[in-house]
């Protein structure tokens, strides 16, 4: 029998979907986190990359760190982005892997997929695609990815072990997981962990 | 948890003040929440 989860995974997923639907529709709406170009600069993304990104490709960015800060991707690599949101990290990855590489963004929120697909079309990117799905059951073949990236997503998943198992499934042997996420230095009380609202607010 | 899931060569980057100046800053400060970059590898 698996480890008991602090909250209902499906209920949390619904809450997260609603939150990021709001970000997709109104990225300047005022959230408890920063968004957009100023956030990307704050998190240390390369200045020139941030500067040349069209507003439509970056305004809904809501990451928590820079998954490329511990190493850039290599030309030709196959990349999967979990919880790709408005697509910003996919667009950064697409530039790094170049025309012989491939980036697949996976997101569960229709409004984010609409936004990221539109931005990719505006940018004329041919090495990026977006698929609808949840990160606990990725629409990605076994052993097909050189690199899995994500940004601020696993902290919003109740069953983190399942997510890591899914990442392991889609990575090639020797493949890399490079991601950004939040971590707390002080222990969060058990009662707070069971409060779904506190996961997303 | 990364190593328990089978990943190797785990590296963690320096903290980023993700929530500084945002609405969630006070809660982040309370629990010392920062953003980090992680790198790990699936064994060959």
CA distance A201 to chain B (A): 8
Q: How far apart are CA A87 and CA A149, in angstroms?
A: 12
CA distance B3 to chain A (A): 10
Distances (CA, A) of A77 to A69, A74, A91, A95, A172: 17, 6, 14, 11, 11
Tokens of A150: 């994500």
Do residues B25 and B2 make contact, with C-beta atoms less than 8 angstroms apart?
no
Tokens of A38: 């100023």
Question: Rg of chain B over CA atoms, in angstroms?
Answer: 14
Contact at CB, B35 and A186, closer than 8 angstroms: no
Q: Where are the alpha helices (DSSP H) in chain A?
A: 9-25, 36-42, 47-52, 55-58, 88-97, 110-123, 160-170, 190-193, 196-200
Q: Which residue of B has its CA nearest to A147?
A: B41
CA distance A171 to chain B (A): 7
- Please tell me what DSSP assigns to residue A106: E
Residue A200 pLDDT class (50, 70, 90 cuts): low
Q: Looking up tokens 């025309």, which residue turns up?
A: A99
Task: Tell me the count of A-B CB pairs closer than 8 A.
Answer: 121
Residues of A in contact with B27 (CB under 8 A): 32
Question: How many residues would you count in chain B?
Answer: 44
Q: Which of A117, A199, A180 is nearest to B31 (CA)?
A: A199
* Residue range(s) defining the domain that contains residue A112: 9-200
Residue A157 pLDDT class (50, 70, 90 cuts): confident
Write the CATH number for A78.
Answer: 3.40.50.150
Q: Is A2 inside a domain boundary?
A: no
- Please tell me what DSSP assigns to residue A149: E
Residues of B in contact with A172 (CB under 8 A): 42
CA A2 vs. chain centroid, Å, equals: 26
pLDDT of residue A124: 96
Do residues B42 and A172 make contact, with C-beta atoms less than 8 angstroms apart?
yes
Q: How far apart are CA B27 and CA B19, in angstroms?
A: 9
Q: Is A4 inside a domain boundary?
A: no
- On the CB side of A72, CA atoms within 13 Å amount to 12
Quick: pLDDT tens for A17-60: 888 888 888 888 888 888 899 999 999 999 999 999 999 999 99
Contact at CB, A173 and B13, closer than 8 angstroms: no
Quick: pLDDT tens for A176-186: 999 999 888 88
User: Residues in chain B with pLDDT < 50?
Assistant: none
């Amino acid at each position: 029998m698996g480890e008991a989860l602090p909250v209902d995974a499906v209920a949390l997923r619904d809450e997260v979907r609603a939150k990021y639907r709001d970000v997709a529709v109104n990225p300047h709406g005022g959230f408890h986190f920063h968004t957009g170009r100023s956030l990307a600069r704050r998190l240390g993304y390369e200045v020139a990359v941030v500067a040349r990104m069209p507003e439509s490709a970056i305004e809904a960015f809501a990451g928590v760190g820079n998954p490329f800060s511990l190493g850039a991707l290599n030309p030709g690599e196959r990349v999967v982005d979990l919880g790709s949101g408005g697509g910003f990290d996919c667009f950064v990855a697409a530039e790094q892997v170049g025309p012989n590489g491939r980036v697949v963004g996976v997101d569960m929120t229709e409004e984010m997929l609409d936004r990221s697909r539109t931005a990719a079309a505006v940018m004329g990117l041919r090495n990026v695609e977006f698929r609808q799905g949840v990160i606990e059951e990725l629409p990605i073949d076994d052993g097909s990815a050189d690199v899995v990236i994500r940004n601020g997503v696993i902290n919003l998943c109740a069953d983190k072990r399942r997510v890591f198992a899914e990442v392991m499934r889609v990575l090639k042997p020797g493949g890399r997981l490079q991601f950004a996420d939040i971590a707390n230095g002080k222990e969060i009380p058990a009662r707070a962990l069971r409060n779904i609202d506190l996961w997303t607010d | 948890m990364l190593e328990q899931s089978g990943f190797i060569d785990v590296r963690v980057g320096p903290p980023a003040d993700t929530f500084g100046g945002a609405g969630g800053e006070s809660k982040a400060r309370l629990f010392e929440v920062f953003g980090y970059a992680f790198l790990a590898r699936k064994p060959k």
